[in-house]
Every structure is written in C-alpha cells, then in structure tokens.
Amino acid sequence: MAPGTVIIGASHAGIQCAATLRSKGYEAPITVISAETQLPYHRPPLSKGYMTGETSPENLALRSADFYTTERIDLRLGKKAARILRDKHQVVLSTGEKVDYKTLVLATGTRPRPWPGNDMPHGIHTLRTFNDAQSLRTRIAETSGPVVIIGGGYVGLELAATFRKDKQRDVTVIEAAPRILARAASSHLSNVLHHHHLSAGVQIHTGTGVTGFESHRGTVTGVRLTNGTVLDAAIVVMGIGVIPNQDLAEEAGLPCSNGIEVNAYCQTTDPDIFAIGDCSVFLMNGAALRLECVQNAHDQARVAASVITGEHQSYHPVPWFWSDQLGLKLQTAGLIPHSGTCVLRGNTEEGRCAFFHFDTLSTLTAIETVNQPALHMLARKILAANVSPTHEQAADPLFNLKHLL
Ligand SMILES: Cc1cc2nc3c(=O)[nH]c(=O)nc-3n(C[C@H](O)[C@H](O)[C@H](O)COP(=O)(O)OP(=O)(O)OC[C@H]3O[C@@H](n4cnc5c(N)ncnc54)[C@H](O)[C@@H]3O)c2cc1C
C-alpha cells in the first residue's frame, strides 16, 4: 500500500491528529510511533488526580485500546524515531527499522530541563511521564519526610498542593524568580495563589536559587540554597521547566528556535513535514510563541489534519489553560500583555474572582479566573470574537458580558 501519514509522538497532539484524520475520511495508512510503552494517556492528571490516587491508571487513557484497531491506526509503542531521511521520505527507528511516509507529523513534545550541576543524588525526581509519576508516588508512599520542590511553575505548585493536602507533610517550594508563576500568570493571580498556598501551610521561598544538594550514602537529605540555608529533604522534585524535543527536526535540517518552527498551517519549511503541540513554535502577532497546554496540542493537531486532507484551515488560537490547586480552579484564556491595565472583577478574599487584562490600547487580551468556570467559557468566546468590555464593565460583576457577543 502507498505510504500515508506517520506521526512521531503518541500524546495529546499526536493522537488527536490521528483521530481527526480518520474523522475527516482520510483513508491512507496512519502510523503513530511512541517512545513510551503505555497506551497514550492524559498528562495533566499526573500532578493532580493520579498523584492523589483519585484517578486510576485505566482512567488516564486518551482512547481505549479498541479505538486504534477500529480506526486502523498502527500504534507502535516503545519505539523511538532516531532519524528522518527527508530525501527518501523515511523515518528510521532506533531499531534500524525504516518507515515510509507521504506526510510526517512531529508531535514530540518536551522533556524536563536537566539540572545544570553534576551532583544528583538518588531521590531527586522530575515529572513528565507516567513512569515519572509512578516512581514519585512510590517514593511519597515510602517516606513521610519533607518534600522540596524546585520551581514555582504550575506543575511544581500542583504537586505542592497535592502533597500538602493531608497537612502532615512539610512542603517547600523554591523559586528563583521574584514571584511564583512568573512565566505563566499575571502578578495578580500569582499573588492570590501565593497566599492560598501559604495559608495551607506550604512554605515558599521566592528570589532564591539552589546551589546543590546534601546527601547520605547517595540519597538526597537536603537542598542548599543561595542564601546559605540548607533545607531538609527526603524527596526533591525538580520543576525548572521543559525543553522542546526538536533534535530530530534539527538533524533533518528543519529550522528550530526553542521549538520546531511552523507556519499558520503547522507546516515546517518542508511542506510534507508538520510539527504540532508543545514541540512547535509559531508566530502570533509577530511574536514567536510556543505553548505548553492541551488546548494548543489539540487545536494544532486539528489544523494539521485539515491541511493533510486538503482543507487548509489555519491556526489563530485563543490559548487557554487550567490548573487545580487546594480547592482553587484557575483558568486562563488569552495571552497576558507585557504592559497595560489589569481590572479585578469580584473579591480576591472570597476565592472567586477574575482578572481582565487590557493592552495599552485598552483591547482585552486575557482573562484569568479563580473558581469561575462559566466566566472562563464566556472569556474564550469574548476573546475569539475580538470584543472588549470597558474597564467599568469588566469590573462590574452585575454587568452581563454576554451582551457583548
Ligand atoms: C504533570 C503535568 C501536568 C500538566 N497539567 C496541565 C494542565 O492542567 N492543563 C494543560 O493544558 N496542560 C497541562 N500540562 C501540559 C500538557 O500535558 C502538554 O501541553 C501536552 O502533553 C502536550 O502534548 P504533546 O502531544 O504536544 O506532547 P507530549 O505530551 O510531551 O508528548 C510527546 C510524546 O512524544 C514522544 N516522543 C518524543 N520524541 C520521540 C521520538 N524520537 N520517537 C518516538 N516518540 C517520541 C514522547 O515520549 C511523548 O510521549 C501538564 C503537563 C504535565 C507534565
């Protein structure tokens, strides 16, 4: 049979692309190559329900095993793509096996940023994969000792929230930047969350770096901070960000810069090769953007599938993201401007509020909500429709924002 689409990476982006291709009537072969051995799974619960035990491994699956058979998707688990031979339209697996493609989709995601030092005793974890979550869960069950989380981003804070739930465990978050969530949220939202974590007993050190680790017989016992303090630690989790898996693309001569560069159709400079999800970087309003969220993985997958099936839909996202921490549902729609005005709707003390972000031209660019899921859904519609309330309308909880649509 003539070659069809080969997708490298079987996670949110890769599986959505395969599913959309079939739903659009694509009949050619689809092969999905996955370095991981598990049936493709939801990643967000790894730091939430799966870590607390509320979500079972079976409930993590993106699709049932039957789905791949029914949809004629050749899912090759535990296989790593090692090279792309663009001139031959082939992918070479680490086993030496070659897979022909007509169209190639790179959905290779990201991996945890490695610790820059060499002193890495046992007991230091990262969290990206099911196997990472499994080993962290096992270690947590083995010890009641203190946990130190390096990095106050979403994943680090979700873990802090999860580990602090039973109130027994000593949990500390170390953040080198002056505030938590410096990269992912406004200072207003990070302030709300900071105080919420403190009131739950999580200790947070901002503006503080880590210089190394203390260990006993090769196992971590402490974390050395830049201010000279040594924190006791039975478990350390490293959440210092991720780096895109772009090596395959780079070696194949495709332009990469903090991600595999793609156009509005998710195509690389080779029109037969697409890149989607966390591994891809694209231009939005003239700025390079690499999003790390499920929405982007799914939407880019749908765009790539539409182009492969000849529809040529382009990508104009309203990015959105969610996080659950210590009883707070945090949801962000849109992109927070570098400068502009932030308008508060509601009361931060009541645990239900929203921050409306306007750029310097008073155009609404993002809404961050706390425990307001209905407002978040509306925010996505308002941003997609490109309409802006006035600052007064945004601040007034009695003003019905639906009137703007
Ligand atoms: C703990 C955690 C919590 C999160 N919580 C949220 C959340 O609440 N909300 C949200 O929107 N997002 C969340 N995210 C982010 C979200 O999971 C990612 O945006 C999403 O997984 C991106 O999907 P992807 O398919 O692009 O890449 P990935 O999920 O990274 O998958 C890429 C896959 O490609 C495979 N691969 C890479 N190279 C090769 C190769 N050479 N050969 C074969 N296979 C290869 C990898 O092994 C991996 O399985 C969270 C992430 C983590 C880790």
**CB of residue 294 inside a 6 A radius of ligand 1:** yes
50 CA to middle of ligand 1, Å?
A: 16
Q: Is 210 exposed, middle or buried (0-12, 13-18, 19+ CB in 10 A)?
A: buried
Cα separation, 242 vs 113, whole angstroms? 5
Mutate to test the pocket of ligand 1, among 46, 294, 299, 302 (most ligand atoms within 8 A of CB): 294
- Say if CB 281 and CB 261 are below 8 A apart: yes
Q: Tell me, what's the pLDDT at 1? A: 78
**CB of residue 297 inside a 6 A radius of ligand 1:** yes
Q: Tell me, what's the pLDDT at 167? A: 67
Q: What angle do CA 328, 329, 335 make, to 5 degrees?
A: 125
Q: Tell me, what's the pLDDT at 351? A: 86
Specify the residue with its C-alpha closest to ligand 1, atom 12: 293
Q: Rounded to 5 degrees, what are φ and ψ at 150? A: -95, 110
366's tokens: 């993002």
- Say if CB 333 and CB 367 are below 8 A apart: yes
Nearest residue to 394 via CA among 378, 385, 384? 378
Per-residue pLDDT of the chain (405 residues; tens, 9 = 90+): 799 999 999 999 999 999 999 999 999 999 999 999 999 999 999 999 999 899 999 999 999 999 999 999 999 999 999 999 999 999 999 999 999 999 999 999 999 999 887 778 999 999 999 999 999 999 999 988 999 999 999 999 999 999 998 667 999 999 999 999 998 999 999 999 999 999 999 999 999 999 999 999 999 999 999 999 999 999 999 999 999 999 999 999 999 999 999 999 999 999 999 999 999 999 998 899 999 999 999 999 999 999 999 998 899 889 999 999 999 999 999 999 999 999 999 999 888 999 999 999 999 999 999 999 999 999 999 999 999 999 999 999 999 999 999
- Say if CB 241 and CB 151 are below 8 A apart: yes
Cα separation, 22 vs 73, whole angstroms? 9
Q: What angle do CA 127, 129, 133 make, to 5 degrees?
A: 60
Amino acid in position 115: W
- Nearest atom in ligand 1 to 292's CA: 19
Cα separation, 302 vs 109, whole angstroms? 16
Q: Tell me, what's the pLDDT at 209? A: 95
187's tokens: 């200072």
Roughly what angle, to the nearest 10 degrees, separates helices 294-308 and 12-23? 40
- Parallel, antiparallel, or unpaired: how do β-strands 110-112 and 242-244 relate? antiparallel
346 CA to middle of ligand 1, Å?
A: 34
Q: Which domains does the chain have, with CATH numbers?
A: 5-111+243-308 (3.50.50.60), 114-238 (3.50.50.60), 327-404 (3.30.390.30)
231 CA to middle of ligand 1, Å?
A: 31
Roughly what angle, to the nearest 10 degrees, separates helices 154-164 and 187-199? 20
Specify the residue with its C-alpha closest to ligand 1, atom 33: 9
Specify the residue with its C-alpha closest to ligand 1, atom 29: 11
Nearest residue to 50 via CA among 111, 127, 113? 127
**CB of residue 107 inside a 6 A radius of ligand 1:** yes
Q: Tell me, what's the pLDDT at 312? A: 83
**CB of residue 34 inside a 6 A radius of ligand 1:** yes
The residues pairing with 203 across neighbouring beta strands, listed in sequence order, are 172
Global ipTM:
0.99
Q: Tell me, what's the pLDDT at 358? A: 98
- Say if CB 205 and CB 238 are below 8 A apart: no
The alpha helices in 107-241, defined as continuous H runs, are 130-142, 154-164, 187-199
- Say if CB 76 and CB 32 are below 8 A apart: yes
33 CA to middle of ligand 1, Å?
A: 14
43 CA to middle of ligand 1, Å?
A: 6
